[in-house]
Each structure stands twice: as structure tokens, then as C-alpha cells.
Amino acid sequence: MLEVSNGGPAMPMIDVYAADGTFDEKHKLAEDLAGAVMRWEQVPDLPLFRNNTAAFIHELPASAIANVNGDSDYVRVQVLTPLGVLDRDKQLGVVKELTEIVAAAAGDPALAERTWVLLTESPEGGWGIAGHANTLADIAAAARAAVADSVL
């Protein structure tokens, strides 16, 4: 039976913001990030989760990014999950792995020092898919149904 507490079902969205030209293979980067987050959440490998775990790569002009010194070579990764899905060990693991994936995709190991990963939790019911604002219970019920369908 699928649990709805920490480690329960979720369908994360990942947004990456970087200066134009940071990444050559954006589609592969999106796939790698989505796969990593899905693994860290430890959800079943079902189409329900595979089809609703996605990453979006947003390229910005370098002039649209700056720290206090005016440097524009930063990457921001924001991961949105339902409330309580990532416990502390999962937070540490997913931040480390996403940072490594970003630096590798850029071909710049030093980018790890300039990659910010923000973990954001959506409030209960603040997660919409297919026009319905889902609770964790809704997602768990859909996952149980998908598991039952896959066994038949």
C-alpha cells in the first residue's frame, strides 16, 4: 500500500533558470533532473509518476541574472513538490545530485559552487493536474489505482 506521509507519492516539477548557452543538451538535462527527483522521492516507476514528473529549462539573457558583483554565471533550480514529500535525508540527497547533474550538463564542474537549488513545497490541495487540485490522498488513490491496473 502506498503511504501518504514523508516519502509518499508526489509529482514534482523542476524549473531551471540559467544564462543562454549554459547547456547544450537541454532535453537530456530535463530528463536527467526529472529522473533524479523521481528516484529521491522513491515513488513507484509507474506511468502516473513518469508522465507527471517534469523539468523545464528556462534560458535567460546573461543581463537578466546578477549577484551583487554583477556576475551572471549562476544557475537556479527550483523543485516543487507536495508538502512533506522530502524528508531531511532526501533533501540533502536531491540537492547534491541535482547540483552534480547541472554542473555535468554545463561541462563546468565549478558551476556546482554557483548552482542554487530551492526545494519548495506546495500546500495541501495546491497541486493541480488535469484540471484538478490534488491532495496527497488524491495522488495516493490515483497511484493505488495505477498499481492495481498494472497488475491486471
Q: How would you classify residue 84: left for phi > 0, otherwise alpha for psi between -120 and 50, otherwise beta? A: left
- Calpha distance 50→73 (Å, rounded): 31
Share of the chain above pLDDT 70, in %: 92
Average pLDDT estimate for 31-37: 97
Instruction: Indicate if the pLDDT at residue 1 is higher than 50.
Output: no
What pLDDT is recorded for position 6? 40
The model carries a pTM of 0.84
Mean pLDDT, residues 95-108: 98
pLDDT of 10 higher than 70: no
Residue 152 has pLDDT above 70, yes or no: no
E runs forming strands in the chain: 13-19, 54-60, 75-82, 115-122, 127-129, 132-134
